[in-house]
Amino acid sequence: MKPLLTTMRGLWGGVSIMVSLTAGGAMAEGAFDKALGLDPSRYQVVNVTVDGKPMALRRYDAVYVGKPVTMATEQPARRMGPGGSPSGADTQTLTDPLTYQKLSIFVPGTASETSAIILSVNNGGWFASELQPGIEDGGAYRSDSDTDKAGAALAAGYVYVDLGSRGRGIVAADVSLPGKAPAAVIDAKAAIRYLRLNDGTLPGSAERIVITGTSGGGGLSSVVAASGNSPDYLRQLAEIGAAGVAEDGTSSLDDDVFAVIAYCPITDLGNADMAYEWLYNGIRTTQNTADNRWSERAKAASAELAAAYPAYLDGLSLTRADGTPLTSATMKAAVADEVRKEVERHAAAGGTIPARGENFEITLRQRGGERKLEVPNDWVTVENGLVTAFDIDAYLGFVAKTAALKNVPAFDRTANTGNEGVDGENSLFGASTQAYSNFSAFGWNNNDVKGDGSGPDDTGLDWAGYTSGAGAALAEQVRLINPMAYLRTEAQAAPYWYIRHGMIDRDTSFAVELSLAAAARMDDDVKSVDFRLPWMTPHSGDYDVREAYAWLAGVLARDDVARP
């Protein structure tokens, strides 16, 4: 049974808001729904300016689950992201032990009950993410900036939500590791359910949630957008007391979303090593491989991974937007086409493209600030705005000159080809008592570190043997965070996808991103996919905010289906 909806006027500065009343109490509610009801009168006022004009927002803070995980007060000082350095001290004290399952909701006075809700996730590196409210009292936000998503959202009258979520690196009070996959996905879905539960109480429509994030956050956004309403997550949603989940695991609320804006999603982790070597094996050198680790062992590993990718890619049965097959035979040409389109777009917009042998001047805007690079053009010729010659392998070499390639394997790295310590994405997987686990066939089968609980040396089983028996839960961790496992299935995919992966982003293979875009396009629930490899953009996000939010305004206007 659906809640009864009534409209009340006056509480919200003359704007009507929806209030939900449950009829007769007969509805199969989530076990914690009463406790998770948001009290609309409990907010802080946040004063900001948007495009120079004052705007008062209401800010609501909440723990979005009924049974939050109790975290240890002292946390190991964890790395803040891949390649990041330890943050200094050995331990850090958690000032807010609930931060990993909290959200902040910012409601502009201009929001109505049909306004979109931007759900901004962090999940950088798939690490645990403290709640970091992106809108501050006294802040000045702008809608005419390419880097200010809060400004774009507020100017459009959208509700804006920031999310804390579990991820690798955090330790619970019982010294288990509660952030292993798929914890971040469970938390994001719990937050969506929380927004649905309280949909009648606040402006903004939970039927128009737009999930957005970068890199690990792009991966999280993509899998949430792909796997809407899948029952696969209910057991773990019940464990944390998510809204709309009864004790017996039945669900009375949806967790699908309307749209996704994903930057450089780090995803399909179980296959990403193969995709990486398949693309880059031929151009790797000692010089362009991180830490110069292009040893004989790394070379053999790269070749083996590269050779294994076509069977996986071809098994996906993907097609391109024009209906032609996207396979191992066509993928490189498809990547080249995307880059070529970007070159021609750049030329059409008045940008210059150096002649062969002349330098591209690239400004890298990354976490650490701005860096300028000059890299010669050895890959493209443009005449009268059109690409007349293009060398994809030289292009890939060019990408690797802007940032050294990850060493081998790129993701399932620990205990392989001389890689030591918990590196790559390994600490995201394994039991909650285990520091790390390999999570793919190559990584597992080549682990020879005795006593780490991973690999045939410890289990007596290869990857196939292990994951089909005692290690089924490990394979399930990999699947539950992978949008490719949910697109083109019964799960309710978001109808609208905006995916960007920078043209010089080497953090994952272009093949992973083209496959994701293709699978989304082929999903029956999906109405449109807007995919690009933006011009000379490295691993980063939220650099094209005007374009992204114009796209969103367009799909919101186009999606004229009456939504509650």
Least Å from the CB of residue 266 to ligand DHB: 4
- For ligand DHB, the closer of residues 437 and 492 by Cβ is 437
- For ligand DHB, the binding residues in 482-541 under the rule CB under 6 A are 507
- For ligand DHB, the closer of residues 228 and 424 by Cβ is 424
Least Å from the CB of residue 487 to ligand DHB: 20
- Both tokens of residue 246? 């009864």
Please tell me the distance from the alpha carbon of residue 369 to that of residue 488, in angstroms, as a whole number. Answer: 40
In 297-451, the DSSP E strands lie at 318-319, 325-326, 359-366, 369-376, 380-383, 386-390
Cβ–Cβ < 8 Å for 163, 131:
yes
Please tell me the distance from the alpha carbon of residue 202 to that of residue 349, in angstroms, as a whole number. Answer: 42
Helices (H) and strands (E) in the chain, counts: 14, 20
Least Å from the CB of residue 425 to ligand DHB: 6
Q: Among 81, 109, 139, 465, which residue sits at the site for ligand DHB (rule: CB under 6 A)?
A: 81
- For ligand DHB, the closer of residues 411 and 444 by Cβ is 411
What does residue 308 show for φ and ψ, rounded to 5 degrees?
-85, -15
Q: Among 216, 228, 270, 495, which residue sits at the site for ligand DHB (rule: CB under 6 A)?
A: 216
- For ligand DHB, the closer of residues 99 and 122 by Cβ is 122
Please tell me the distance from the alpha carbon of residue 520 to that of residue 527, in angstroms, as a whole number. Answer: 9
**Size of the residue set binding ligand DHB (CB under 6 A):** 11
Q: Is 399 helix (H, G, I), strand (E, B) or coil?
A: helix
Binding-site string for ligand DHB from residue 176 to residue 215, where x marks contact by CB under 6 A and - marks none: ---------------------------------------x
- For ligand DHB, the closer of residues 187 and 425 by Cβ is 425
Q: Among 30, 40, 82, 538, which residue sits at the site for ligand DHB (rule: CB under 6 A)?
A: 82
Please tell me the distance from the alpha carbon of residue 173 to that of residue 37, in angstroms, as a whole number. Answer: 27
Least Å from the CB of residue 123 to ligand DHB: 7
Binding-site string for ligand DHB from residue 27 to residue 66, where x marks contact by CB under 6 A and - marks none: ----------------------------------------
What does residue 48 show for φ and ψ, rounded to 5 degrees?
-135, 175
Cβ–Cβ < 8 Å for 226, 483:
yes
Least Å from the CB of residue 268 to ligand DHB: 12
Chain residue whose CB lies nearest ligand DHB: 215
Binding-site string for ligand DHB from residue 402 to residue 421, where x marks contact by CB under 6 A and - marks none: ---------x----------
Please tell me the distance from the alpha carbon of residue 287 to that of residue 292, in angstroms, as a whole number. Answer: 6
Please tell me the distance from the alpha carbon of residue 128 to that of residue 176, in angstroms, as a whole number. Answer: 14
Question: What HEC string does 54-113 produce?
Answer: EEEEEEEEEECCCCCCCECCEEECCCCCCCCCCCCCCEEECCCCCHHHEEEEEEECCCCC
Only one of the segments 17-25, 62-70, 120-128, 354-362 lies at the binding site for ligand DHB (rule: CB under 6 A); that segment is 120-128
- For ligand DHB, the closer of residues 127 and 141 by Cβ is 127
Least Å from the CB of residue 424 to ligand DHB: 7
446 touches ligand DHB (CB under 6 A): no
Contacts 24+ apart (CB under 8 A), 8-11: 11/40
- For ligand DHB, the closer of residues 125 and 178 by Cβ is 125
Q: Among 266, 335, 339, 400, which residue sits at the site for ligand DHB (rule: CB under 6 A)?
A: 266
Least Å from the CB of residue 147 to ligand DHB: 17
From 181, 179, 262, select the one nearest 215 (Cα to Cα).
262
- For ligand DHB, the binding residues in 123-182 under the rule CB under 6 A are 124-126
What lies within 8 Å, CB to CB, of 562 at 6+ separation is none
> Can you give the binding site for ligand DHB, defined by CB under 6 A?
81-82, 124-126, 215-216, 266, 411, 425, 507
